[in-house]
Amino acid sequence: MRDLKVDSAILDGEAVVLDDRGASDFGALQQALGGRGGRRSSASALLYAFDLLYLNGHDLRSMPLADRRAMLEDLIGKQHSSIRMSEEVDSEGAPFLKLACELGLEGIIAKRLDAPYRSGRGGDWLKIKCVQSETFLIIGYEPSAAALGGIGRLLLAARKGKTLAYVGSVGTGFTTKTATELKRRLMSVLIEKSAVAGVTTKGMRWVEPTLAAEVDFRAWTGDGKLRHASFKSVRDDADVGQIYALDPISPGA
């Protein structure tokens, strides 16, 4: 902020850390901010500003977004410092969302250019998220007396070459009926240890990797785990070729 030629300002934006492709990496941001054992310097974080609410004693919230954005661009300019202007794209929503999802981004935000700034949720801004859906093998579950059907979460694996790789867990999306039936089936294929080498999470019940689950998720973390996963259904019709396959030479699990 010291680099901006301004007495006082309030910007609306988002802190990000970019990966090698130039896309935001949430896991890297957590590390930069000190979370999850982070060692990365916070200097690697950037602020992408997308709105200007206050400038040199003037409240700008009643102005149209297009005018606020123009003033924001004048303030920030085209500099590639730690504060950058977020890119604006004038496009049809559906094809633009499709492109964002294909690029592995979390989604898009659609805004009315003629709207003033309003706090809270409203119809002037829409956050539209990408949702990926893939099929994974269930390798274990966490029993829980408090959870629906007695399943706290499922542990999942994907194919990786001729082996399996752990890709995280899912603990939401179940109904009592679905979880109860799934637990009954899992208890019939219990084994003593994990079918995936190196996965030794305590308190789990391990199962033969014979049941597949379709899971919705937002993105992959930097260490190859599912982020914001939600259980969708059991895939009794899935064959081996329909189980999600990781790149055999990819890093991570």
pTM of the model: 0.62
CATH code, domain carrying 159: 2.40.50.140
Q: Please check the confidence at residue 221 and state whether its pLDDT lies above 80.
A: yes
Q: Are residues 118 and 72 in the same domain?
A: yes
Structure tokens at 140: 């274990």
pLDDT cut 90: percent of the chain above it: 49
Range of weakest confidence among 38-42, 53-57, 113-117, 222-226? 38-42
Residue 226, H or E segment: strand 226-227
Domain presence at residue 138: yes
CB count, 10 Å around CB of 189?
13
Q: Are residues 74 and 149 in the same domain?
A: no
Give the structural domain span for 59.
Answer: 9-129
Split at pLDDT 50, 70, 90, the class of 240 is: confident
> Residue 96 region, left (φ>0) first, then alpha (ψ -120 to 50), else beta?
alpha
Residue 50: what pLDDT?
92
Domain presence at residue 3: no
**DSSP letters along 168-179, please?**
EEE-SS--HHHH
Compute the CA torsion angle 192, 234, 27, 223 (nearest 10 deg): 40
Compute the CA torsion angle 9, 12, 18, 23 (nearest 10 deg): -140
Among 104, 129, 154, identify where a domain stops. Answer: 129
Structure tokens at 145: 């007396």
Q: Are residues 149 and 198 in the same domain?
A: yes
Residue 79: what pLDDT?
65
Q: Are residues 32 and 143 in the same domain?
A: no
Q: What is the mean pLDDT of the chain?
A: 87
Q: Please check the confidence at residue 239 and state whether its pLDDT lies above 90.
A: no
Q: What is the pLDDT of residues 17-40, one digit of tens each?
A: 887 777 777 767 777 776 545 555
Compute the CA torsion angle 207, 213, 218, 219 (nearest 10 deg): 50
Q: Are residues 74 and 180 in the same domain?
A: no
Contact 129, 216 (CB under 8 A): no
Q: CA 164, CA 246: separation in Å to the nearest integer? A: 9
Q: Are residues 20 and 33 in the same domain?
A: yes
Beta strand 9-16 pairing with 245-246: unpaired
pLDDT cut 70: percent of the chain above it: 91
Q: CA 112, CA 192: separation in Å to the nearest integer? A: 57
CATH code, domain carrying 61: 3.30.470.30
Q: Please check the confidence at residue 80 and state whether its pLDDT lies above 70.
A: no
Q: What is the pLDDT of residues 160-217, one digit of tens each?
A: 998 999 999 999 999 999 999 999 999 999 999 999 998 988 899 999 999 999 999 9
Average pLDDT for 135-155: 93
